[in-house]
Structure 1
Amino acid sequence: MSDWYKDAVFYEVHVKAFYDADGNGVGDFAGLTEKLDYIRDLGVDCLWILPMYPSPLKDDGYDIADFYGIHPSYGMVADFQKFMDAAHDRGLRVIADLVMNHTSDQHPWFQAARADRASPYRDYYVWSDTDQRYRDARIIFTDTEKSNWSWDPVAQQYYWHRFFSHQPDLNYDNPAVKAAMLDVMRFWLDRGLDGFRCDAVPYLIEREGTNGENLPETHAILREFRAVVEREYGGSRVLLAEANQWPEDVRPYFGDGDEFHMAFHFPLMPRLYMGIRREDRLPITDIFTHTPAIPPACQWCLFLRNHDELTLEMVTNEERDYMYFAYATDPQMKLNLGIRRRLAPLLDNDRRRIELLNCLLLTLPGSPIIYYGDEIGMGDNVHLGDRNGVRTPMQWSDDRNAGFSTAEPTQLYLPVITDPVYNYQAVNVAAQDKLPSSLLNTTRKLVAARKRSAVFGRGTIEFLRPRNQSVLAYLRRWREDAVLVVANLSSRPQPVELDLAAHEGMVPIEMLGDTRFPVIGREPYFLALGPHDFYWFRLQGRVARPVRYGIEESAI
């Protein structure tokens, strides 16, 4: 199926963080291959692999020094190939990060460019004799960068970078750069990769008098890349856009169905947390009124947390202040315009709230992405600096190093979580696997319920408007299927009356327990929900009663 991604559940994982097979303290492709059965049994359809390429690791791999290799700590290209084959054997697909916007300053292209103005690689980057060009472009990493230009003493010019100064931007006005990056994509697609999550795509082109984001020339380049992938690899590969923008600005990245297949819905994510903290559905329903329709073959990607900070770029100043007040009481939890915390700590390890947010992740329009470790409620370590606190080793068991590695603890790429609440001896896969009521098994149950109906990945959404603002209710429809989701955003029990008269005669079947509820009539449909409780109802036509002959209760 060419649009498989619409029904898929994605799982984001960093190779170095998942499992260390060779005992050197760093996860690797051999270790990830060993754990594929765990990922498959979670109900996942596709893995998203964070940068796996050779890199100085100044930005955790997003500073790529060689697009054609595997970082030595993770293995070799042959190990990647074995991993891909094993994933496909289990029915799993794999997409990988591709950083399109920039390289590491250690990349041979940049080293050649800075060494010689006559080098063919000089024009692979954006150079200037002054740092006053493109002044309307915002600085993204406000905590570390004071300018988008940096002086290179070897080149004797400034070079342009939208992110860290050690990540010079590529010059997509140069056709050779486009050709080179297309060759990179071909290299990995030829090895069976199912697609790319394309990093930082709004910033490919610079123009004076603009903010350097979402420019028409950028979209022309992206359509060209999509056309090559479609023409040379058929319709089953997928391109996912990382464009941290407002929905109306992300909409052009879908084009007419000829640009990206998928894009993240960044502004929804903080509003899920806002809604649950305010106990009010308005932040959630409001962002959907500002979300434009997308082409039929395209899809939004939803997430609760990922490898970066919980970004607050796409909220108002008042909303940002509220989120800091509610979720970042310690100044160390803040980074750039965001909060560097995992899902469970953000929600004070409250199982009801964690499950409620997972409910919304799995039932709102789009394809959900689960961040590794969130399925067991892993904690974080804000004292590690940058975003490393949410990138610690996966916690497999209560053995040494959380069962992640046999190396000495001091050799681990990052220390495992040892704080009193989230320590690996209490929070780990082995313990939760045995417990039917654990967060891990509940997550598996929710994912399995989602996969029983195509309505969640493909259907329309209609928000109901009950008088109780603490209750979020919506109808998902796809062809003949209809599912009603009702969620209590409050920490207290809540009653709700729903206008379901249009569905008179239908029988709600609660999907998680396969329980029949009373038939819907013309009058408001009453439900009572416990704190942070939720229901998924499949609306089923009334089943005719079997003919009775009056002897059914008689003894035979």
Structure 2
Amino acid sequence: MKKKNLLHLALAASFVFSIACSSVDQTSQTQAVATTQQPDEQEKASEWPRGVTYEIFVQSFCDSNGDGIGDIKGMTSKLDYLRDLGVEGIWLMPMNPSPSYHKYNVTDYYDIHPDYGTLEDYKEFIQEAHERGIHVVMDLVVNHSGSDHPWFQEASRNANSPYREYYVWAHKDDPQTQKEGKILAGDSDNVNRWHKVAGSDSLYYGYFYDGMPDLNFDSPKLREEIYKIGRFWLSEVGVDGFRLDAARHIFPDDRPEDNHQFWIDFRNEMLKVKEDAYLVGEVWADAATVAPYMKGLPALFNFDMGYAITNAVNKEDAGELVSNHRKIRDFYSSVNPDFVDATFLTNHDQNRIMSEVNGNMNKAKMAAALLFTLPGSPYMYYGEEIGMKGKKPDELIREPFIWEKKEEDGCRATWVEPKYSTDQTVTPAAVQLEDENSILNHYKRFIQLRNNSKALTYGELEPLNLGPKSISAFLRKYEDESLLVLHNLSDKEVSVSLPETLAAYEDVRFQSKASTKSNNMLKLAPYSTVILED
């Protein structure tokens, strides 16, 4: 038996105590267990980008000046909250000047939207984040510009403009413009991709809509312009990397090899400026489509995994969740052994996880437990940790964060009237911090658990089938650390018989609720997680 540190012994003692006190009501047991899982800073094992990253929509996060719009100074004031949560990276949704609330139609690639602050504010934010061990990734939107961008404004007025080649043009009678597009990905429902220019026979290509004309990456001048933009934010401002929006649409859908090559070229250019520049790409597609991008974008979002976790917790059936995840990871590894599997539950383009599980707090907690114990480098969308709700349209999945009770909340944004995440439906973060059983403290415990475990951070995955369909079971192993992870996805206590091959896993590393173990029989409480080590 390996030597255990005091934290592990305390957890094991808690586990034994639960056996002796089986008559204690479940709420009390849960709270008693919860108080034992505190972080041990000396054991911290994760290292970004393998750590947890937190996605922020700046407009909704924290308003520092009372104008109703979240801003950079507001985010800076909440960096200690994020550090205490355990995140090691922040992904910021677009911050460039733009006429839209979401800012995905950029009009200036070298500045910050004035609603959010200034470049100096941003540099200060990055410095403060770095001092807390938090990396900063910014959304870089280069598949398209905004139609109000000076490049496009001049190009659309003058066919002889030097910026004309920055965009994709066709004559209105060109047969290709008469065809309806085909929806190939989850990132757009637009099928009319050729758009008119008033007073002209020219049409321009815009995959998403007419306010976002696609940039022409067949132009060497345009490609160099994009490299220049990337260099600016890495070297002049100090960001740690980029989240690349719409990465599969740089070239048309029938030119995937050109897409793959561009990102290889882009990465090579960025590494010349910053040797550890981090790139994570949005390729909203199945694993077979995603994999070839990994040569240029070693980190890619795992959309399949998010859907699979949601499906499993809703059905209370582990199914092929773990084995399919293993297959995807093996496939990705064959393309790039150093890939970063950017797992997540939902993001700013999807209904929030709490709404996807119909407001069931236990299922939302279980989704998080799966995310943080399965392999990957997890991303979490702001507000998931306090149980925010939201369903499309997009504004309503990007509602303001609820920090404190309304009358005390000097940070809450008011740019949109919330429909789903209100004071009646979401308990403020400040209140949840004082409640050991809150979803916020649930997130903190699981993030700390992961951060303190090399096996959960870096370990490979071995799926297990232990019988009951509601039990998701797997091994995570790395170097001399080997963990047996069991999740009960159901609302009933479930007994699991551990085979002789798992007999060595008898010491408790972690439990989210009190469970009992007798010889090889383990009883898991409803919606609970138990992690054993050998």
TM range (shorter): 0.7 to 0.9
Q: 1:153 to 1:41 in 2, by over 3 A?
A: same
Q: Which residue of 1 aligns with 2:286?
A: 246
Q: Which residue of 1 aligns with 2:306?
A: 269
* Structure 1: distance between partners of 2:480 and 2:269: 36
Offset of residue 364 of structure 1: 1.1
Q: Which residue of 2 aligns with 1:55?
A: 98
Residue 395 (str. 1) matches residue 395 (str. 2): no
Offset of residue 132 of structure 1: 3.6
Q: Which residue of 2 aligns with 1:201?
A: 247
Q: 1:36 to 1:121 in 2, by over 3 A?
A: same
* Structure 2: distance between partners of 1:162 and 1:500: 56
Offset of residue 261 of structure 1: 2.5
Offset of residue 167 of structure 1: 0.5
* Structure 1: distance between partners of 2:292 and 2:191: 30
Q: Which amino acid in 2 is paired with 1:246?
A: D
Offset of residue 488 of structure 1: 1.5
Identical columns (%): 30
Residue 473 (str. 1) matches residue 473 (str. 2): yes
For the 8 Å contact 2:51–2:87, the answer to whether it is kept is yes
Q: Which residue of 1 aligns with 2:273?
A: 232
Residue 109 (str. 1) matches residue 151 (str. 2): yes
Q: 1:365 to 1:154 in 2, by over 3 A?
A: farther
Q: 1:289 to 1:19 in 2, by over 3 A?
A: closer
* 3-state secondary structure, aligned to 1:496: strand
* 3-state secondary structure, aligned to 1:67: coil
* Structure 2: distance between partners of 1:143 and 1:367: 26
* Structure 2: distance between partners of 1:220 and 1:199: 16
* Structure 2: distance between partners of 1:424 and 1:83: 32
Residue 526 of structure 1: which of 513, 521, 527 is its match? 521
TM-score between both structures, scaled by the size of structure 1: 0.81
Residue 531 of structure 2: which of 527, 531, 536 is its match? 536
Q: 1:372 to 1:424 in 2, by over 3 A?
A: farther
Q: 1:136 to 1:205 in 2, by over 3 A?
A: farther
* Structure 1: distance between partners of 2:192 and 2:308: 30
* Structure 1: distance between partners of 2:508 and 2:322: 25
Q: 1:448 to 1:286 in 2, by over 3 A?
A: closer
Q: Which residue of 2 aligns with 1:345?
A: 355
* Structure 2: distance between partners of 1:527 and 1:517: 6
CA offsets, 1:380-435, max 9 Å, x none?
A: 3x5xx621111111101113484434x8xxxx31124577xx52685101111222
Q: Which residue of 2 aligns with 1:40?
A: 83
Offset of residue 238 of structure 1: 0.5
Offset of residue 78 of structure 1: 1.0
Q: Which residue of 2 aligns with 1:324?
A: none
* 3-state secondary structure, aligned to 1:228: helix
Q: Which residue of 2 aligns with 1:414?
A: 416
* Structure 1: distance between partners of 2:353 and 2:374: 18
* Structure 2: distance between partners of 1:303 and 1:50: 16
Q: Which amino acid in 2 is paired with 1:241?
A: G
Residue 157 (str. 1) matches residue 202 (str. 2): yes
Structure 1 runs (4+) deviating above 6 angstroms are 141-144, 513-520
Map 1:253-402 → 2, pairs under 5 A: 253-255=293-295, 259-285=296-322, 287-288=324-325, 290-291=327-328, 292-294=331-333, 295-309=336-350, 341-380=351-390, 382=391, 386-400=393-407, 402=409
Q: 1:166 to 1:120 in 2, by over 3 A?
A: same
Q: Which amino acid in 1 is paired with 2:294?
A: F
For the 8 Å contact 2:181–2:191, the answer to whether it is kept is no
For the 8 Å contact 2:316–2:489, the answer to whether it is kept is yes
Residue 71 (str. 1) matches residue 113 (str. 2): yes
* 3-state secondary structure, aligned to 1:434: coil
* Structure 2: distance between partners of 1:251 and 1:144: 23
* 3-state secondary structure, aligned to 1:197: strand
Residue 147 of structure 1: which of 185, 192, 195 is its match? 192
CA offsets, 1:1-48, max 9 Å, x none?
A: xx9434311101111111111111101101111111111111110011
* Structure 2: distance between partners of 1:493 and 1:518: 13
For the 8 Å contact 1:51–1:96, the answer to whether it is kept is yes
CA offsets, 1:310-359, max 9 Å, x none?
A: xxxxxxxxxxxxxxxxxxxxxxxxxxxxxxx3222322332221111111
CA offsets, 1:240-284, max 9 Å, x none?
A: 0100111122111112xxx11210110121121211222222251
Q: 1:131 to 1:15 in 2, by over 3 A?
A: farther
Q: 1:150 to 1:401 in 2, by over 3 A?
A: farther
* Structure 2: distance between partners of 1:171 and 1:283: 41
Offset of residue 146 of structure 1: 4.0
* Structure 1: distance between partners of 2:318 and 2:55: 28
Q: Indicate the larger mover: 480-489 or 346-355.
A: 346-355
Residue 187 of structure 1: which of 211, 226, 232 is its match? 232
Offset of residue 141 of structure 1: 8.0
For the 8 Å contact 2:326–2:461, the answer to whether it is kept is no
* Structure 2: distance between partners of 1:204 and 1:262: 17
Q: 1:6 to 1:535 in 2, by over 3 A?
A: farther
For the 8 Å contact 1:149–1:160, the answer to whether it is kept is yes
Offset of residue 64 of structure 1: 0.9
Q: Which amino acid in 2 is paired with 1:507?
A: E
Q: Which amino acid in 1 is paired with 2:527?
A: H
* Structure 2: distance between partners of 1:142 and 1:84: 29
* Structure 1: distance between partners of 2:63 and 2:437: 29
In structure 1, list runs of 5 or more residues that go unmatched: 310-340, 541-556
Q: Which has the higher helix share?
A: 2
In structure 2, list runs of 5 or more residues that go unmatched: 1-45
Q: Which amino acid in 2 is paired with 1:423?
A: D
Q: Which residue of 2 aligns with 1:318?
A: none
CA-based RMSD of the aligned residues comes to: 2.5
Q: Which amino acid in 1 is paired with 2:48?
A: Y
Residue 17 (str. 1) matches residue 60 (str. 2): yes
Q: 1:96 to 1:455 in 2, by over 3 A?
A: same
* Structure 2: distance between partners of 1:442 and 1:274: 21
* Structure 2: distance between partners of 1:38 and 1:396: 11
* Structure 2: distance between partners of 1:243 and 1:500: 43
Aligned length: 481
For the 8 Å contact 2:516–2:522, the answer to whether it is kept is no
